[in-house]
Chains A and B, each alone.
Chain A
Amino acid sequence: MLPELGQAALLLALLAAMLQAALPLAGAAANRPAWMAVARPAALAQLALLAFAYAALTVAFVRQDFSVLYVANNSNTLLPLVYRYTAVWGSHEGSLLLWVLMLAVWNAAVAVWSRALPPVVSARVLGVIGLVAIGFLSFMIFTSNPFERLLPAPLEGHDLNPLLQDPGMIIHPPMLYVGYIGFVVPFAFAIAALLEGKVDARWQRWTRPWTNVAWGFLTIGIALGSWWAYYELGWGGWWFWDPVENASFMPWLAGAALIHSQAVTEKRGSFGGWTLLLAIATFSLSLLGAFLVRSGVLTSVHSFAADPSRGLFILAFLAAVIGGALVLYVLRAPRLPEGRPFAPASRETLLLVNNLLLTAACAMVLLGTLYPLLADALDLGKVSVGPPYFGTLFLLLMAPLVLLVPFGPLTRWQQEQPSKPLAMLLPWLGLALLAGVAGWFMAPQGALKTAAGVFAAAWVALGTARFVWTRVRAAGRTFTPEMLGMVLGHAGIAVFVAGALLVEAQLVQREVAMSPGQTVEIGRYAFRFDGVERVPGPNYVADRALVQVFRDDRPLVLLHPEKRAYASGGQIMTDAGIHAGMAADVFVALGEPLGGGSWAVRLQIKPLVRWIWAGAFLMALGGFVTALDRRFRRVTGNGRGQETGADDAAPAPGHAPAVAADGGTG
Chain B
Amino acid sequence: MAGFRALSAVVIGVVFAGLVGLLLYGVLVSDRPDREALPSPLIGKPAPSFELPVLHEPGRLVSSEELRGQPYLLNVWGSWCPGCRVEHPVITRFAETRRVRVVGYNWKDEHADAMRWLEQFGNPYWLVLVDYDGRKAIDWGIYGAPETFLVDAEGIVRWKHVGPVDDTVIAESLVPVLDSLGVTP
Contact between chains at B30 and A296 (CB < 8 Å): yes
Which among B16-24, B85-93, B109-117 touches the partner chain? Answer: B16-24
Contact between chains at A297 and B23 (CB < 8 Å): yes
* Cα–Cα, bound, A315→B30 (Å): 13
Judge if A401 is at the interface, Cβ distance under 8 Å: no
Judge if B60 is at the interface, Cβ distance under 8 Å: no
Tell me which residues from 313 to 338 in chain A have a Cβ below 8 Å from any Cβ of chain B: 315, 318-319, 322-323, 326, 329-330, 333-334
Judge if B31 is at the interface, Cβ distance under 8 Å: yes
Which among A170-178, A256-264, A369-377 touches the partner chain? Answer: A369-377
Which among A126-134, A304-312, A611-619, A625-633 touches the partner chain? Answer: A304-312
Tell me which residues from 58 to 104 in chain B have a Cβ below 8 Å from any Cβ of chain A: none
Instruction: Give the number of residues in B that approach A within 8 Å (Cβ atoms).
Output: 20
Q: A315 with B27: in contact, given A299-B36, A382-B38 (CB under 8 Å)?
A: yes
* Cα–Cα, bound, A307→B30 (Å): 8
Tell me which residues from 32 to 56 in chain B have a Cβ below 8 Å from any Cβ of chain A: 36, 38-39
Would you give the shortest CB distance from B8 to chain A, in whole angstroms?
A: 8
B21 and chain A: residue at smallest CB distance: A377
Partner of A370, one of B9, B16, B22, B39: B22
Tell me which residues from 356 to 384 in chain A have a Cβ below 8 Å from any Cβ of chain B: 370, 373-374, 376-377, 381-382
Judge if A291 is at the interface, Cβ distance under 8 Å: yes
Contact between chains at A295 and B16 (CB < 8 Å): no
Would you give the shortest CB distance from B144 to chain A, in whole angstroms?
A: 15
Contact between chains at B20 and A319 (CB < 8 Å): yes
Partner of A382, one of B24, B29, B31, B39: B39
Contact between chains at A322 and B16 (CB < 8 Å): yes
Contact between chains at B22 and A311 (CB < 8 Å): no
Judge if B177 is at the interface, Cβ distance under 8 Å: no
For chain A, what secondary structure do more than half of its interface residues adopt (helix, strand, loop), or is it mixed? helix
Contact between chains at A330 and B27 (CB < 8 Å): no
Partner of B12, one of A298, A326, A370, A373: A326
Contact between chains at A326 and B29 (CB < 8 Å): no
Contact between chains at A334 and B5 (CB < 8 Å): yes
Contact between chains at A306 and B12 (CB < 8 Å): no
List of A residues within 8 angstroms of B22 by Cβ: 370, 373-374, 377
* Cα–Cα, bound, A306→B12 (Å): 29
List of B residues within 8 angstroms of A370 by Cβ: 19, 22
List of A residues within 8 angstroms of B20 by Cβ: 315, 318-319, 323
List of A residues within 8 angstroms of B29 by Cβ: 376
Judge if B171 is at the interface, Cβ distance under 8 Å: no
B28 and chain A: residue at smallest CB distance: A308
Tell me which residues from 494 to 553 in chain A have a Cβ below 8 Å from any Cβ of chain B: none
Judge if B26 is at the interface, Cβ distance under 8 Å: yes
Would you give the shortest CB distance from B176 to chain A, in whole angstroms?
A: 20
Contact between chains at A377 and B25 (CB < 8 Å): yes
List of B residues within 8 angstroms of A381 by Cβ: 39
How many interface residues does chain A have, given as a range? Answer: 20 to 34
Tell me which residues from 280 to 306 in chain A have a Cβ below 8 Å from any Cβ of chain B: 291, 295-299, 306
Contact between chains at A315 and B31 (CB < 8 Å): no
* Cα–Cα, bound, A382→B41 (Å): 11
List of A residues within 8 angstroms of B25 by Cβ: 373, 377
A313 and chain B: residue at smallest CB distance: B27
A330 and chain B: residue at smallest CB distance: B9
* Cα–Cα, bound, A160→B25 (Å): 32
Partner of A297, one of B9, B16, B26: B26
List of A residues within 8 angstroms of B16 by Cβ: 322-323, 326
- Most A CB contacts (10 A, CB to CB) among B5, B22, B23 go to B23
Partner of B31, one of A299, A306, A334, A374: A306
* Cα–Cα, bound, A296→B31 (Å): 8
Contact between chains at B27 and A312 (CB < 8 Å): yes
B39 and chain A: residue at smallest CB distance: A382
A376 and chain B: residue at smallest CB distance: B29
Contact between chains at B30 and A295 (CB < 8 Å): yes
List of B residues within 8 angstroms of A298 by Cβ: 26
Contact between chains at B23 and A308 (CB < 8 Å): no
Partner of A295, one of B9, B27, B39: B27
Would you give the shortest CB distance from B55 to chain A, in whole angstroms?
A: 26
A281 and chain B: residue at smallest CB distance: B12
Contact between chains at B26 and A373 (CB < 8 Å): yes
Interface residues of B (CB under 8 A from A): 5, 9, 12-13, 16, 19-20, 22-31, 36, 38-39
Q: List 30 A-B contacts (CB under 8 A).
A: A295-B26, A295-B27, A295-B30, A296-B30, A297-B26, A297-B30, A298-B26, A306-B30, A308-B27, A308-B30, A311-B27, A311-B30, A312-B24, A315-B20, A315-B24, A315-B27, A318-B23, A319-B20, A322-B16, A323-B16, A326-B13, A330-B9, A330-B13, A334-B5, A370-B22, A373-B25, A373-B26, A374-B22, A376-B29, A377-B25
**Complex A-B, nearest 4 residue pairs according to Cβ-Cβ distance, in ascending order:** A297-B26, A311-B27, A296-B30, A330-B9
Question: A291-B23, A373-B25, A374-B22 known; 13 other A-B pairs, CB under 8 Å?
Answer: A298-B26, A311-B26, A312-B24, A315-B23, A315-B24, A315-B27, A319-B20, A330-B9, A333-B5, A373-B22, A376-B29, A382-B38, A382-B39
